[in-house]
Amino acid sequence: MKVLVTGCAGRVGSFVARQLLASGHQVRGFDLRSAGVEDAAFEQVVGAFDDRETASRACEGVDAVLHLGAFMSWLPADRDKLFRANVEGTRIVLEAAADAKVGRFVFASSGEVYPENKPEFQPITEDHPTKPRSAYGMTKLIGEGLVKFQGRVSPIETVILRFSHTQNASELLDPDSFFSGPRFFLRPKVKQQEAFGNRAAADLLRAADPGQPALVLTRNENGRPFRMHITDTRDMATGVLIALTHPKAAGGVFNLGATDPVDFADVLPVMAEKTGLPLVTVDLPGAGVWYHTSNQRMRETLGFEPEWPIMRMLDEAVEAWKRRQV
Ligand code: NAD
């Protein structure tokens, strides 16, 4: 099979591309950045998804498209770039794929389409109403609409995967990493909340600073610890590869992620013990993050079985953290 992997320089795309190559497939990558893959069966188109000529070149002659690339930002200043990359980009890649008579198009959507941070019921299934509350989530929902439209008006098979939050295990204890840094480390979280303009949260977090780098257990205003899914990139790649070929995936919408959510009150003490960093607890204004998303449809219909629960990821995260200390 010849497969186009968009976002091939990213977290999930780069791992999926390597998995496909290891299984003997031909892979074409499409990303703004070079994926740096050295393999005779790999070629890359460098450019933006919303550039029609580049998207056509990327889709020419491939059997399937895994559209895993997207721009992720929650900053108001990034809004135009977000819609260009995720809405116009998805429309143009889809049209190029249909013109090139690609067999299947798999789209990486997000749990932010529900949105997971403000669910109407739990566990969140694919039947939960979609009412995004972030511009990013909105771009993903419009993306889903574009994918469904293309599936109706052309013979292309489409699969929508609503991705869980996803991390490489090595990112979990990296204070400089984009997601895990401000999620688990106090000072990066202060900076993030300042950037979002959440002054009350930033002040509460700053007041808890013990005078040295520290981990932070975030809870809501009533003291309920945050709870969310954190899925290993390797499990996401497994799900994406199932969606690429499984006959029952065609036309479907599936939540893709770890089976159990991560309770921050369980993992932060383990992180503190393994790293020796102090742990502070901060109750932030508002309802906080507290969700559980069901992957039952993906498991029962397509046989998906995640293999990297958080504690297994943490073992690797601790090793990576130790390597960074020397
Ligand atoms: P990533 O940020 O690591 O990789 C995305 C890649 O897309 C990057 O290499 C980037 O250069 C490329 N890209 C961005 N805009 C582009 C454009 N306009 N043209 C060409 N390339 C462009 O993301 P990831 O973590 O691998 O996520 C993969 C997919 O899953 C994305 O669609 C993302 O929105 C979705 N998703 C991710 C998470 C998560 O927690 N990581 C959660 C839900 C959904």
For residue 274, count CB atoms less than 10 angstroms from its CB and return exposed for 0-12, middle for 13-18, buried for 19 or more: middle
- Residue with the smallest CA separation from ligand 1 atom 25 is 11
Q: Which two tokens stand for residue 124?
A: 């969140």
Q: In angstroms, what CA-CA distances link 123 with 32, 126, 309?
A: 36, 10, 18
Residue range 53-77, pLDDT digits in tens = 999 999 999 999 999 999 999 999 9
Angle in degrees, 0-180, between the axes of helices 264-275 and 310-325, rounded to the nearest 10 = 30
Q: What is the mean pLDDT of residues 261-273?
A: 98
Q: What is the pLDDT of residue 241?
A: 98
- Residue with the smallest CA separation from ligand 1 atom 38 is 165
Q: In angstroms, what CA-CA distances link 36 with 3, 17, 51, 78?
A: 17, 11, 22, 27
Q: What is the mean pLDDT of residues 12-34?
A: 98
Residue range 103-159, pLDDT digits in tens = 999 999 999 999 999 999 999 999 999 999 999 999 999 999 999 999 999 999 999
Residue range 40-49, pLDDT digits in tens = 999 999 999 9
Q: Are 40 and 98 in contact (CB under 8 A)?
A: no
Mean model confidence pLDDT for the chain: 97
Q: What is the pLDDT of residue 323?
A: 95
With a Cβ cut-off of 6 Å, ligand 1 is lined by: 7, 9-13, 31-33, 48-49, 68-72, 85, 89, 108, 110, 163, 165-166
Q: What is the mean pLDDT of residues 223-235?
A: 98
Gap between the Cα atoms of 160 and 172, Å rounded? 27
**Residues whose CB falls within 8 Å of the CB of residue 39, separated by 6 or more in sequence, listed in order:** 21, 27
Q: What is the pLDDT of residue 310?
A: 98
Residue range 79-105, pLDDT digits in tens = 999 999 999 999 999 999 999 999 999
Q: Are 150 and 156 in contact (CB under 8 A)?
A: yes
Q: 12 alpha carbon to ligand 1 midpoint, in Å? A: 8
Angle in degrees, 0-180, between the axes of helices 52-59 and 89-99, rounded to the nearest 10 = 40
Cα 326 from chain centroid?
A: 30
Split at pLDDT 50, 70, 90, the class of 326 is confident
Q: Which two tokens stand for residue 305?
A: 């079985």
- Residue with the smallest CA separation from ligand 1 atom 2 is 10
Whole-structure pTM value: 0.97
Of 6, 32, 54, the residue with max ligand 1 atoms within 8 A of its CB, to mutate for a pocket test, comes to 32
Q: 40 alpha carbon to ligand 1 midpoint, in Å? A: 25
- Residue with the smallest CA separation from ligand 1 atom 24 is 11
Q: What is the pLDDT of residue 135?
A: 98
Gap between the Cα atoms of 179 and 27, Å rounded? 28
Split at pLDDT 50, 70, 90, the class of 249 is very high
Q: What is the mean pLDDT of residues 176-186?
A: 97
Q: What is the pLDDT of residue 64?
A: 98
Residue range 167-176, pLDDT digits in tens = 999 999 999 9
Q: Are 11 and 166 in contact (CB under 8 A)?
A: yes
ipTM: 0.99
Q: What is the pLDDT of residue 253?
A: 98
Q: Which residue has the tokens 């469904």?
A: 148
Q: Give residue 167's identity as a one-letter amino acid code.
A: Q
Q: Measured at the alpha carbon of residue 310, what is the angle toward residues 305 and 313, in degrees to the nearest 5?
A: 95
CA gyration radius for the chain?
Answer: 20
Measured from the Cα of 84, ligand 1's closest atom is 18
Q: Which two tokens stand for residue 16?
A: 């999926």
